[in-house]
């Protein structure tokens, strides 16, 4: 049994608490920390059977009963707490991104060098049933050598403007999942990125210095060409698809809906919209990623996504930012510590 401390009791922290409590047999949430811990959350934690509730995550790190921590706090604290947790000998599951600043990620890499702790980055989509099936088809050679990789990733609605301003920009906030997916599906790193982006959804996003629509072309190290298309607003819901085309065929996945019901009427033949957003679409994936983390600890396996999987998508996001600004293809080799 792995005793887990959750650092950060926001939306995603709570998702992980519920997953571990209900779906991960070998994990137990022993502590929950949040600087804004309130009575309501405390009561909820009690109900979930969490023994220790605190405002100070350092108490969790200091607790000898805790084997591992899940860092679900705000992005700017991820790398710092990661380093502290590693030094405290705790296994670490860190929500994405590890940091927007690759120097800070380098500090985590350095801290891991002399440690024996497991480290996993929270790119949940790798654990989605559909994307797992695509990756499996590619990795098993069913489509031959991958040549074109296409990812569609569109949110149902833009985040609050306040969030946009501190998000690090669309590429580091939203596309970062797709950058990880491209690496997952191609089985290699990116070599060069070109961005065509615009503000087509909401001018206020542009005024905040960000974009909301993008088509991103990526040359992968294995020669495949990847393309991601992003929008901050798809009125029909969360659009999450992928397609890999190769020398022997193509694998593609479509969106999930709440049911397969189709109504044929005088107005047309109508099925359900995709599941609304990430909590609906990826709930099983969240449980699966945490299950893998616990399994890696229990059975001394490698985590499925290590710290380098945390670094590369951030480098890609930075390269995308340079491409947007300088309007040219940017090599990943330009983005170094």
Residue 122 CA, chain-centre distance (Å), reads 5
The CB-of-150 to a copy of itself minimum distance in angstroms stands at 7
Is residue 236 close enough to count as binding a copy of itself by CB under 8 A?
A: yes
CA distance 120 to 303: 6
Q: Which of 133, 161, 279, 337 binds a copy of itself (CB under 8 A)?
A: 133
Q: Which SS3 state, helix, strand or coil, does residue 231 take?
A: strand
Helix 283-298 and helix 11-23, axial crossing angle in degrees, nearest 10: 60
Nearer to a copy of itself, 133 or 308 (CB): 133
Segment lying near a copy of itself (by CB under 8 A), choices 51-59, 88-96, 217-225, 314-322: 217-225
Is residue 219 close enough to count as binding a copy of itself by CB under 8 A?
A: yes
Is residue 82 close enough to count as binding a copy of itself by CB under 8 A?
A: no
Segment lying near a copy of itself (by CB under 8 A), choices 56-64, 87-95, 111-119, 125-133: 125-133
Q: Which of 233, 277, 306, 322 binds a copy of itself (CB under 8 A)?
A: 233
Q: Are 256 and 275 in contact (CB under 8 A)?
A: yes
List residues bridging with 32 in a β-sheet: 6, 53
Q: Which of 57, 123, 171, 194 binds a copy of itself (CB under 8 A)?
A: 194
Token pair for 333: 């080799």
Is residue 160 close enough to count as binding a copy of itself by CB under 8 A?
A: no
Is residue 140 close enough to count as binding a copy of itself by CB under 8 A?
A: no
Q: Which of 147, 206, 306, 322 binds a copy of itself (CB under 8 A)?
A: 147
List residues bridging with 195 in a β-sheet: 216
Give the end-to-end CA distance of the chain in Å, rounded to a whole number.
38
Could you tell me which of 220, 252, 289, 285 has the C-alpha nearest to residue 137? 252
Q: How far is CA 227 from CA 95, 235, 322, 330, in A?
A: 25, 22, 17, 15
Is residue 265 close enough to count as binding a copy of itself by CB under 8 A?
A: yes
Is residue 259 close enough to count as binding a copy of itself by CB under 8 A?
A: yes
Segment lying near a copy of itself (by CB under 8 A), choices 55-63, 68-76, 113-121, 132-140: 132-140
């Amino acid at each position: 049994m792995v005793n887990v401390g959750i650092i950060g009791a926001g939306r995603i922290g709570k998702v992980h608490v519920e997953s571990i409590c209900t779906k991960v047999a070998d994990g137990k949430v022993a502590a929950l920390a949040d600087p804004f811990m309130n009575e309501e959350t405390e009561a909820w934690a009690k109900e979930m059977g969490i023994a220790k509730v605190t405002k100070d995550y350092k108490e969790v790190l200091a607790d000898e009963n805790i084997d591992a921590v899940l860092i679900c706090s705000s992005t700017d604290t991820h790398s710092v707490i990661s380093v502290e947790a590693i030094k405290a000998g705790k296994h670490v599951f860190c929500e994405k991104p590890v940091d927007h600043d690759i120097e800070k990620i380098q500090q985590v890499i350095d801290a891991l060098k002399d440690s024996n702790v497991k480290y996993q980055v929270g790119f949940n989509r790798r654990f989605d049933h559909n994307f797992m099936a695509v990756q499996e088809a590619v990795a098993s050679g069913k489509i031959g050598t991958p040549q074109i990789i296409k990812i569609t990733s569109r949110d149902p609605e833009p985040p609050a403007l306040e969030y946009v301003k501190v998000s690090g920009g669309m590429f580091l906030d939203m596309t970062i999942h797709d950058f990880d997916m491209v690496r997952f599906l191609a089985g290699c790193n990116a070599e060069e990125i070109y961005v065509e982006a615009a503000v087509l959804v909401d001018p206020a996003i542009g005024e905040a210095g960000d974009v909301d629509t993008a088509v991103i072309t990526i040359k992968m190290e294995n020669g495949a060409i990847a393309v991601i298309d992003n929008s901050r607003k798809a009125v029909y819901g969360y659009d999450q698809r992928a397609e890999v085309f190769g020398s022997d065929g193509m694998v593609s996945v479509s969106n999930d809906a709440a049911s397969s019901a189709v109504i044929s009427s005088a107005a047309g033949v109508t099925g359900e919209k995709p599941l609304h957003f990430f909590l609906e679409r990826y709930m099983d994936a969240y449980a699966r990623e945490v299950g893998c983390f616990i399994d890696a600890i229990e059975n001394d396996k490698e985590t499925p996504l290590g710290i380098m999987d945390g670094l590369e998508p951030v480098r890609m996001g930075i390269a995308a930012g340079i491409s947007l600004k300088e309007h040219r293809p940017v090599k990943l080799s330009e983005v170094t510590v």
